[in-house]
Amino acid sequence: MAGVSGCIKYSMFIFNFVFWLCGVVILALAIWIRVSDDTQEILSSEDLGSSPYIAVNLLIAVGAVIMILGFLGCCGAIRESRCMLLLFFIGLLVILLLQVAAGILGAAFKPESDRILNETLYENTKLLSTTDGSGKEFQQVIIGFQEEFKCCGLVNGASDWGNNFQQYPKLCECQDAQELCTDYDGKRVYKQPCISFIKNLLAKNVIIVIGIAFGLAVVEILGLVFSMVLYCQIGSK
């Protein structure tokens, strides 16, 4: 090992090899989503705008960066290259700082994001009552959501569907307990609008994202420690 601890060297290599594999998986998955014929129809939906493309492109960038950092870390550990280890350390530190900054900004702008979410949901209510076909895909998504979460409409209940309410025979059909149902236009439908369920679902997903971010932060800190210890040991040869 020429003065460098074998345990630290190979621990660093294994850590970065797993890190590199994660980058490969993320990049491959993102590219597959981007070019798949099935997902192209979803990504190109006018109702969804450009947001899905931005998310997928960001995922591709993240996968590529993780692959590059993993490669630098692996090569730096095996070849005992201080330059590669330093580049790995700086890159990982930048990512960690960006995560911290994103977390702070997310907390600071939470009220604003809640306001935008409310405005978006209220605006999309119009798509449920439109009859010109422009909101067809969105309507199908909400129908599936209603069946799963036993709710009806987005904000105001069954009235959100307007003239489309009679176009779907089993729309919002309620066969559960009495307190969950109400009568509307001659049908027994779910009383609760879906807006609260959507907000709860998003809140749960945010918690999952925060948990993943904390897990990544721990892994990144370990990577920083491994790389700096190895960097210092190589320098003391």
What angle (nearest 5°) sits at the alpha carbon of residue 78, between those of residues 74 and 82? 85
Nearest CA-CA partner of 158 in 112, 193, 117:
193
Nearest CA-CA partner of 51 in 106, 109, 116, 105:
116
pLDDT band at 165 (very low <50, low <70, confident <90, very high): confident
| Per-residue model confidence (pLDDT) at position 54 | 67
pLDDT (tens digit per residue) in 175-226: 877 788 888 888 889 989 998 888 888 888 778 778 877 887 888 888 888 8
User: What average pLDDT does this structure show over 85-110?
Assistant: 84
CA dist., res. 205 & res. 108, Å (int): 18
Nearest CA-CA partner of 66 in 25, 11, 9, 12:
25
- For the chain, how many residues are written? 237
236 pLDDT exceeds 80?
A: no
1 pLDDT exceeds 60?
A: no
3-state SS class at 149: helix
pLDDT band at 36 (very low <50, low <70, confident <90, very high): low
| Per-residue model confidence (pLDDT) at position 48 | 47
User: What average pLDDT does this structure show over 143-170?
Assistant: 87
Considering only residues 56 and 44, tell me which one the structure prediction assigns the higher pLDDT: 56
Burial 47-63 (b: 16+ CB within 10 A, else e): eeeeebeeebeebbebb
| DSSP per-residue letters across 113-138 | HHHHHHHHHHHHHHHHH--SSTTHHH
* Consecutive H or E run containing 182: strand 181-184
| Per-residue model confidence (pLDDT) at position 110 | 78
